[in-house]
A and B are shown apart, each in its own frame.
Chain A
Amino acid sequence: MTTTIDPPERRETAVDKLRNGRAAVADRWHHAPRWVRWVLLAAVIVFFYALPNKEFYQYLGPIPTPGANFTQVLFTVSIYVLLAVGLNIVVGFAGLLDLGYFGFFAVGAYTVAVLTSPSSNLKTLWPWLLVVPIAIALTMVSGVMLGTPTLRLRGDYLALVTLGFAEMIRIAAVSSTFLKGQRGFSEIPHPPGKYADGRPFFGVLDARPYYWLVLTLIILVVIGVRNLTHSRVGRAWISIREDEDAAQLMGVPTFKFKLWAFASGAAIAGLAGALFAGKQNFVNSQNFELLNSIIILAAVIFGGSGNIVGAIVGGGLVAYMIERFRGIELFGIELYEYRFLFFGLVLVIMMIFRPQGLIPNRRRAAEFKDRRKEVIVGE
């Protein structure tokens, strides 16, 4: 008995230290005067709006990426941040292990492609802006359709079904003639808007406007998500993550709120997909590898699931690190080729120091044991 009790205790202290460290930072933040918080927040936002300008980032030392256009990288990173914020609702708050989140991104991107591109069979050629709300709505619908049968199940089933969903979308993209496979959709229109001299604001060469657009939407989405998490909805989500049975018995309509978590997460992914398609001009089946789902999940866990700031930082860092590896050679091999080894390592380290990161599995396991104790031993 004592040997089994010892190791968890030691781990507890390491975890506690980390928790307390984060708590201390959060504490200082929450106890800072209101104006200090606003000034800091404003400074961070201004920094990120300024970041894609060469006049600014050239002074930032090693931060700009050597192997890729830095503003392009920033756009990619911003899309990942948006995705991490969305997945964090599902995994971090509601505790639902969604392994196929990127599938919703694909639904968003393909909706835009099919309805706007001249290569589409539909030939609707609608403008981008009109299609964005349609893409979001369709992604939400696909989230509800996937969630309705599966969210009644618990734990591992959901992980499997979502994994299957993303793979299904990918295979449909590869092999269906309607979705054009590798050939893809070209000439997807850009977002509207012109400079004073008539040049389009959202052009082909300059990635900055797209990045600014995504950054602005991230801010709006974060405000929205915060409104949700600081309300009955967020409490319901967290209570489901913490103990689904107890939540039901305290009057939480758990199925309804799980579905909402799924639908909100999907909507954000759909928005990200629509933004991606609008920038990329071209969408084909190669954009939607399964690995992307795993990367976003890793980002959410890395940042500390159930924490909006954590998801932003996690998504940003993970996506940035991947790009930062480009163009750096180690023993003659580009470090970029090692990127997934790096993720494996990060995940292993996270599991050691922040095992509560993967809350759904671990807590469910512990809960299951508790329940058996309660019903079977009666003590």
Chain B
Amino acid sequence: MSDTEQTPAVPAQAAAPAVETVREREPLLEVDHVTLRFGGVVALNDVDFTLYKGEILGLIGPNGAGKTTCFNAMTGIYQPTEGQIRFRGEKISGKKRHQITRMGMARTFQNIRLFPEMTALENVQVGADAHHKTSVISALLRLPRHWKEEREGREKAERLLEFVGIRKRMHEFARNLSYGEQRRLEIARALATDPVLLCLDEPAAGFNPAEKEELLQLIRQIRDQGVTVLLIEHDMRLVMGVTDRIVVLEFGKKIAEGLPAEVRDNPKVVAAYLGVPDDAA
């Protein structure tokens, strides 16, 4: 219960400036009237929202609402049927996935997708390699660039593993880590690509309240370091506690957008979540 008392405090602080300045703030990601169809299924229906630099935006909605699909469209896995997505003012469509990552967008997965037969350290190093230039020639001949990037990547990876709290496990294969450690490792790997925007797809799924609280702390720290965060989350309480603004999807449509308190009291949102048991409510 204590965390419900704490949680309004954070958005309240953040909300006051947010209301006034949100329009003047620099848009980072614009989802511009995006529709995405899979055959007959309309997974996203004219979804339209903007993410501003420095905020934590919550993307919520019942199961199957299209949240993950929205991430997939943003990261280049799917092309929108209609509309477009702009990141830092540039169109996403037509860009390769690794280019989008290098532009500063990183993500985690709802179903953890680490590299199981690589160590925790190597997993994060892959992320750090996103901005490295070493290729076959420099690696084969061990040119100075290889050594320099190797050292930098390694230091960065260790720092990030420390940050998410699993540095002790860095030489362990990813598949041998516990569920919670794997979720943390995914975040560390994503951060290693130096994102401007970090997209977390249900990062707290399967966590107990104490673990959720730790995760919340972690997300705030990430934001405080200047990373914008887009958070998909089922747990309304968690979303209320950490986000500056919330976008609500239902059946692929945006049904509400606003401050956490507004969204919580919105009758449409209440209806969408009605009948969804406490895990999601």
Contacts and interface: CB of A to CB of B under 8 A. Distances in A.
Are A and B co-members of a single complex?
yes
Nearest to B139: A231
A249 interface: yes
A12 to B, nearest CB: 11
B183 to A, nearest CB: 14
Given A250-B193, A374-B109, A232 B127 contact: no
Contacts of B68: 374-375, 378
Nearest to A363: B116
Contacts of B77: 245, 249
Given A227-B139, A227-B140, A375-B68, A251 B115 contact: no
Given A239-B126, A249-B97, A250-B127, A374 B110 contact: yes
A197 interface: no
A24 B125 CA distance: 25
Contacts of A249: 75, 77, 97-98, 101, 106-107
Interface bracket on A: 35 or more
A375 B135 contact: no
A146 interface: no
Interface in A250-265: 250-254, 256, 260, 264
A242 B111 contact: no
A249 B92 CA distance: 13
B268 interface: no
Given A235-B122, A374-B110, A243 B131 contact: no
B187 to A, nearest CB: 12
Contacts of A224: 140
B126 A260 contact: no
Nearest to B65: A378
B101 A251 contact: yes
A263 B84 CA distance: 37
B72 interface: yes
B253 to A, nearest CB: 15
A248 B97 contact: yes
Interface in B62-76: 63-65, 67-69, 72, 75
Contacts of A245: 77, 113
A131 to B, nearest CB: 22
B132 A232 contact: yes
A327 to B, nearest CB: 41
Nearest to A242: B115
B154 to A, nearest CB: 11
Interface of B: 63-65, 67-69, 72, 75, 77, 96-98, 101-102, 106-107, 109-111, 113-118, 122, 125-127, 129-132, 134-136, 139-142, 146, 149-150, 153, 189-190, 193
Interface of A: 224, 227-228, 231-236, 238-239, 241-243, 245-254, 256, 260, 264, 306, 370, 373-375, 377-379
Which 7 residue pairs spanning A and B have beta carbons closest together?
A251-B130, A231-B139, A242-B115, A251-B101, A248-B97, A246-B113, A232-B134
